[in-house]
Copies of this chain bind each other. A is one copy, B any other.
Amino acid sequence: MPNYKLTIAYDGTRYNGWQKQGNTEKTIQGKLEAVLERFAGQYVEINGAGRTDAGVHAKGQVANFKLDKAISCEELCRYFAEYLPEDICVLSAKRVDERFHARLTATKKHYRYCICNNAKHADVFNRKFEMHVKEPLDVDKMTEAAGYFVGEHDFSSFCSNKHMKKSKVRTVYGVTINCDGDKIIIDYEGDGFLYNMVRIMTGTLIEVGLGQRLPEDIPEIIARKDRQAAGFTAQAQGLFLMEVFYE
């Protein structure tokens, strides 16, 4: 069956996340499937690479779907542009190998967390796209702490889903922190991330930046394999799924 890959950007503010949850929920997947159904004349399931939460954004979400017959990718893109709401945009569509699966064949993901730091007021223009932390953060300490995340670890302490029975071992390839004025940008790359993992790592780094924890506490937090050991879950609106990589 012809298999299609979509690259998608969205402002997640108005949505209950990527994944469809029943009929009435307002999700990115649901919006895309509704337009695709209209285009294809039948319901078609779309698989997303990352199940972003309510309020989380994407600049490069990837999804795929299969159809009975081949279609024109250009025509499909124009159709999405016409019928999708203005906060969801299909950046590109292309036909891919039948074995391609947006989630299962992904080899690396890049998430970004944006913080507005040490500004007296939240930025009215970026309020949906960053977390405002009023108190000054020690970025050197945060960078030191972030180094401990890198590598293959059991990230149970950084997972909100207690009922998940699958392995919680993931490999973090890198965490880099950049500052630009009052903006702090944290980039995470890894082979996969558990439910809320990026937000809990970010919350923990913020606590380090505030001096509430030490960088060298991180290995112990990881070793505990207990959600209670880690920091708070940073707000959804600061998080972006930037890119998904494949072989």
B121 touches A91 (CB 8 A): yes
A38 close to B (CB within 8 Å): no
Q: Which residues of B contact A91 (CB under 8 A)?
A: 120-121
Q: Say if the beta carbon of A158 comes within 8 Å of chain B.
A: no
Q: A57 touches which one: B88, B125, B127 (CB < 8 A)?
A: B125
Distance between A246 CB and nearest chain B CB, rounded to angstroms:
22
- A125 and B129 within 8 A (CB): yes
Residue of B nearest to A129 (CB): B125
| A200 in contact (CB, < 8 A) | no
Would A124 and B81 count as touching, CB distance under 8 A? no
Write out the residue numbers on chain B whose beta carbons fall within 8 Å of the beta carbon of A88. 124
Q: Shortest distance in angstroms between A111's beta carbon and chain B's nearest beta carbon?
A: 16
A196 CB to closest chain B CB, in angstroms? 22
Q: Does A75 sit at the interface, judged by CB under 8 A?
A: no
A9 within 8 A of B: yes
- A57–B125 Cα gap in the complex (Å)? 9
Query: In the bound complex, how far is the Cα of B80 from the Cα of A124, in angstroms?
Result: 14
- B81 and A127 contacting across the interface, CB-CB below 8 Å: no
Which residues of A from 188 to 220 have beta carbons under 8 Å from B? Answer: none
Considering only CB atoms, which chain B residue lies closest to A59 in the complex? B125
Indicate if A44 sits at the interface (CB-CB under 8 A): no
Q: Are B121 and A81 in contact (CB under 8 A)?
A: yes
Binding site for B on A (CB under 8 A): 9-11, 57, 59, 81, 86-89, 91, 120-125, 127, 129
Q: A9-B124, A86-B122 are in contact. List 13 more A-B contacts (CB 8 A).
A: A9-B121, A9-B125, A11-B125, A11-B127, A57-B125, A59-B125, A81-B121, A86-B127, A87-B124, A89-B122, A91-B120, A91-B121, A125-B129
Closest 4 CB pairs of A and B: A11-B124, A89-B121, A89-B124, A9-B124
